């Protein structure tokens, strides 16, 4: 009896030790989104929900955000290991904080094109960028489209405009009410928000920046130099698991929205599914993304963007594109070949 007890005790201790070892081999990663849980966040919530991160020996926590600027500063502060942020916001941080000890870098491009657009109601008479001259535009002061508007303005030879600032929830409401003539915002955010306020999509003029000579990159996965140096294997494992999940999301967006619903039970599933599909069609599976490859960048295009952001954002120092990007942690080209075929 005593011998049996000892055997059971030994087996139990071995099980505890094995469990502890498994736990010790799992790397915790804190990930900061750029915005709240909406359709596009399925790209990060889906691999977590399907266990892809867990299979890669990662314990990933995905938190909602309140803007790309916040995501950059939280990764820079060390509060988060990785994040998702607009590349222009990352460039601005680098150029305005040249002596910061922990400047994040982009390690994978997700939105190959900026989602920024200028939107107006057709009844305003605004049809082209030139029609914006002398008009009142509205957007939060930190909006990516507003910050990059000087680039859009220069590319399309637009005269002076007047800006009105507001909190994000009021932007589309003020446009519909006529308080402003046009707004800037992410296409897949503002267009659907305008519709939600009773305006049909066909009654909205959408001028997407990439269609009007502004070839800025959009959001990328960013990382702290600390995790890149101390645990490069975990970073590579994260990007591989993310890529696997991204393929699933693009193959079945409606199914992927379930992962978003699980994190925020009050989302409008139909609306967020449309938002996700719109993001895929406009900035993820875009012609330039297919030309450059999912997750990857073009060095000349990155250099041009660095110069444009330096000018438009009036940064303290010039942006150095070579300091912004590190593609050495990306999966292989074969693994990154996940964009749906058949698009023109």
List the domain boundaries for the chain.
26-113+217-324, 116-212
Distance from C-alpha of 197 to C-alpha of 244, rounded to nearest angstrom? 36
**Domain 26-113+217-324 falls in which CATH fold?**
D-Maltodextrin-Binding Protein; domain 2 (3.40.190)
| pLDDT score for 18 | 47
Residues 146-172 pLDDT 10s: 999 999 999 999 999 999 999 999 999
Kindly state the average pLDDT of the residues 103-128.
Answer: 97
pLDDT tier, 12 (very low <50, low <70, confident <90, very high otherwise) = low
Whether residue 342 is predicted with pLDDT greater than 70 in this model: the reply is: no
Residues 202-234 pLDDT 10s: 999 999 999 999 999 999 999 999 999 999 999
| pLDDT score for 17 | 47
Strands 116-121 and 182-186: antiparallel
Report the length, in residues, of the chain: 344
Taking residue 106's Cβ as centre, other Cβ atoms within 10 Å add up to 22
Mean pLDDT score of the chain, rounded to an integer? 93
pLDDT tier, 88 (very low <50, low <70, confident <90, very high otherwise) = very high
Kindly state the average pLDDT of the residues 123-136.
Answer: 97
Whether residue 129 is predicted with pLDDT greater than 60 in this model: the reply is: yes
Token digits for 178?
């006529």
The CATH classification of domain 116-212, taken from the options 3.40.50.300, 3.40.190.10, 3.40.50.150, 3.40.50.10540:
3.40.190.10
Residues 21-50 pLDDT 10s: 445 589 999 999 999 999 999 999 999 999
pLDDT tier, 8 (very low <50, low <70, confident <90, very high otherwise) = low
Residues 296-318 pLDDT 10s: 999 999 999 999 999 999 999 99
Sheet of 105-109, strands arranged across: 58-63, 27-32, 82-86, 219-223, 105-109
Per residue in 110-142, is it b (16+ CB within 10 Å) or e — as a string? bbbbbbbbbbbbeeeebeebebbeebebbbbeb
Between the CA of residue 223 and those of 55, 89, 155, what are the distances in Å?
A: 21, 14, 32
Kindly state the average pLDDT of the residues 110-123.
Answer: 97
Q: What percent of the chain has pLDDT over 70?
A: 92
Ramachandran angles phi, psi of 124, nearest 5°:
-75, -20
| Residue that wins the pLDDT comparison between 4 and 28 | 28
| Topology agreement, domain 26-113+217-324 and domain 116-212 | yes
């Amino acid at each position: 009896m005593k011998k049996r007890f000892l055997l059971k005790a030994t087996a139990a201790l071995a099980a505890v030790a094995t469990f502890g070892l498994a736990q010790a081999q799992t790397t915790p990663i804190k990930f900061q989104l750029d915005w709240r849980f909406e359709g596009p966040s399925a790209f990060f919530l889906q691999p977590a929900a399907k266990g892809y991160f867990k299979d890669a020996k990662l314990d990933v926590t995905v938190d909602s955000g309140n803007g790309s600027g916040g995501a950059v500063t939280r990764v820079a502060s060390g509060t988060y290991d990785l994040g998702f942020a607009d590349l222009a916001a990352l460039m601005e941080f680098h150029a305005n904080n040249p002596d910061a000890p922990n400047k994040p870098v982009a390690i994978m491009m997700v939105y190959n094109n900026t989602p920024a657009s200028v939107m107006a109601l057709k009844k305003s008479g605004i049809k082209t960028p030139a029609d914006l001259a002398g008009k009142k535009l509205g957007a939060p002061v930190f909006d990516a489209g507003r910050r990059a508007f000087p680039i859009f303005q220069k590319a399309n030879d637009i005269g002076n405009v007047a800006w009105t600032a507001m909190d994000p929830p009021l932007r589309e409401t003020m446009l519909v009410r006529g308080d402003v003539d046009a707004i800037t915002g992410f296409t897949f955010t503002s267009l659907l928000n305008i519709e939600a306020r009773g305006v049909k999509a066909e009654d909205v003029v959408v001028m997407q920046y990439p269609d009007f000579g502004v070839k800025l990159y959009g959001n990328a996965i960013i990382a702290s130099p600390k995790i890149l140096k101390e645990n490069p294997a975990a970073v590579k494992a994260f990007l591989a698991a993310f890529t696997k999940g991204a393929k699933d999301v693009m193959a079945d967006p409606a199914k992927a929205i379930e992962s978003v619903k699980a994190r925020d039970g009050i989302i409008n599933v139909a609306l967020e599914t449309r938002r996700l599909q719109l993001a895929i069609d406009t900035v993820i599976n875009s012609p330039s993304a297919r030309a450059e490859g999912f997750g990857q960048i073009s060095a000349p295009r990155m250099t041009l963007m660095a110069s444009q952001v330096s000018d438009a954002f009036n940064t303290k120092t010039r942006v150095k594109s070579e300091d912004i990007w590190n593609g050495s942690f990306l999966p292989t080209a074969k693994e990154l070949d996940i964009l749906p075929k058949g698009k023109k």
